[in-house]
């Protein structure tokens, strides 16, 4: 077994225009001072990383690593959640998702997708140059708007959707394989990969590609009322990244899993800061440790109640207190009996 690495923090929800969140050194010092040991880094803000340069220049990648290491930190994974979303966009969402891409490809779905695919390919090489073994992303979605079958879905629609999704992702998965990096899809509502069944459908469509892995975030399963503990039993061999994000689900006579179009504050299911929700993280950390998860415990802050800086400070300590330092001996070693094959055969009556 391996001791889970951490605590780490996903920077996406903290990057901003005011110090210390507007520069790499500022945000690294902030994270380090809170006790974090790693950062999961978004890749669209050039103040923090030039993704293309990290892919094309080992010197730049090494300098970036050194700069972060000077604060006592390391990169856990790069993130292309927003770019991954753009690999597969249903036309109904084109106007919404243009904001994730450069202005020159707005209103040009084909050019936007090509840009996103290139971003993922840069991310594979950049991860390799940075010495990383996992990468975090979204799958995008061609089918999400059809998840509730009314009117009835035409026969073959879902199968065709996953075939197209696989067609778009297979060249990217191969790039990650060439780089020796696992591509970890965050299983998430709004994506075509949002639970175990959809992940398996995708896995089948990409021929069980060895790099098609999982970023496990139990908060998304609480909102779906899915057994997030058993999920680990089913998919632990594919879980290569881990978000520590809490959630709660409090249904009423007026709303349930769909949330009634309410704000996050007023939904039955909502995200919370680590330790403030309903998730059984003690069991999660035990399960992941049992299955020899070798990655990082990365705090993702998304809470409609608590201030983000308070959430980060508490989250670092929360993760630290949940990481299980694995034992190097069996608890009953003191009672061990020296033995050999002759002794064993004798005790079997042979």
Average pLDDT for 17-27 = 98
Predicted local distance difference test score (pLDDT) of residue 342:
81
Q: Who has greater pLDDT, 1 or 159?
A: 159
Does 331 have pLDDT greater than 70?
no
**Long-range CB contacts (< 8 A, 24+ apart) of 312-315?**
312/9, 312/14, 312/31, 312/34, 313/34, 314/273, 314/274, 314/275, 315/7, 315/9, 315/244, 315/273, 315/274, 315/275
- CA–CA separation, 305 and 325 (whole Å): 32
Predicted local distance difference test score (pLDDT) of residue 337:
66
Does 333 have pLDDT greater than 80?
no
Each residue's pLDDT tens digit, 83-98: 999 999 999 999 999 9
Average pLDDT for 30-56 = 98
Does 347 have pLDDT greater than 90?
no
Backbone angles phi, psi at 144, to 5 degrees: -55, -40
Q: How confident is the model at residue 349 (pLDDT cuts 50, 70, 90)?
A: confident
Predicted local distance difference test score (pLDDT) of residue 94:
94
Q: Which H or E element spans position 32?
A: helix 24-33
Does 343 have pLDDT greater than 80?
no
Cis peptide before 151 (omega within 30 of 0): yes
As given in the structure block, the two tokens for residue 162 are 């996953």
**Residues shown for the chain:** 350
Does 332 have pLDDT greater than 90?
no
- The full DSSP string for 242-272 is EEE-EEEE---SS--TTGGG--GGGSSEEEE
Predicted local distance difference test score (pLDDT) of residue 89:
98
Predicted local distance difference test score (pLDDT) of residue 272:
98
Predicted local distance difference test score (pLDDT) of residue 253:
98
Average pLDDT for 294-320 = 97
The percentage of residues in the chain with a pLDDT greater than 90, rounded to a whole number, is 93
pTM reported for the whole predicted model = 0.95
- CA–CA separation, 41 and 38 (whole Å): 9
Each residue's pLDDT tens digit, 51-65: 999 999 999 999 999
Beta partners for 79?
Answer: 42, 136
Average pLDDT for 134-162 = 96
Query: For residue 46, which of 31, 66, 64 has the smallest C-alpha distance?
Result: 64
């Amino acid at each position: 077994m391996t001791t889970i690495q951490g605590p780490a923090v996903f920077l996406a929800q903290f990057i901003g225009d005011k110090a210390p969140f507007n520069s790499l050194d500022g945000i690294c010092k902030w994270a380090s001072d809170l006790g974090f040991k790693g950062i999961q880094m978004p890749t669209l803000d050039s103040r923090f990383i030039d993704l293309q340069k990290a892919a094309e220049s080992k010197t730049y990648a090494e300098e970036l690593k050194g700069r972060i290491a000077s604060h006592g930190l390391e990169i856990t994974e790069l993130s292309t959640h927003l770019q991954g979303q753009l690999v597969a966009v249903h036309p109904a969402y084109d106007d919404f998702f243009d904001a994730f891409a450069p202005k020159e490809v707005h209103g040009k779905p084909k050019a936007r997708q090509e840009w996103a695919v290139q971003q993922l390919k840069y991310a594979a090489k950049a991860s390799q140059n940075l010495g990383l073994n996992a990468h975090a992303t979204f799958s995008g979605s061609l089918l999400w708007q059809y998840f509730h079958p009314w009117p009835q879905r035409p026969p073959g629609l879902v199968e065709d959707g996953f075939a197209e999704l696989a067609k778009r992702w297979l060249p990217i998965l191969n790039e990650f394989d060439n780089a020796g990096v696992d591509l970890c899809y965050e299983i998430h509502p709004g994506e075509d990969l949002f639970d175990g069944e959809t992940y398996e459908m995708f896995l089948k469509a990409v021929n069980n590609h060895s790099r098609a892995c999982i970023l496990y975030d139990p908060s998304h399963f609480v909102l779906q009322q899915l057994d997030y503990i058993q999920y680990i039993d089913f998919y632990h061999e594919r879980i290569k990244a881990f978000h520590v994000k809490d959630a709660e689900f409090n249904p009423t006579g007026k709303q349930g899993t769909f949330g009634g179009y309410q704000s996050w504050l007023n939904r039955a299911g909502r995200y919370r800061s680590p330790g403030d929700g309903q998730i059984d993280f003690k069991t999660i950390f035990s399960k992941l440790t049992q299955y020899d998860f070798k990655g990082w415990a990365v705090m993702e802050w998304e809470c409609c109640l608590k201030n983000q800086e308070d959430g980060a400070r508490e989250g670092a300590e929360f993760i630290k207190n949940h990481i299980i330092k694995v034992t190097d001996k069996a608890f009953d070693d003191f009672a061990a009996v020296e033995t050999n094959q002759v002794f064993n055969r004798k005790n079997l009556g042979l």
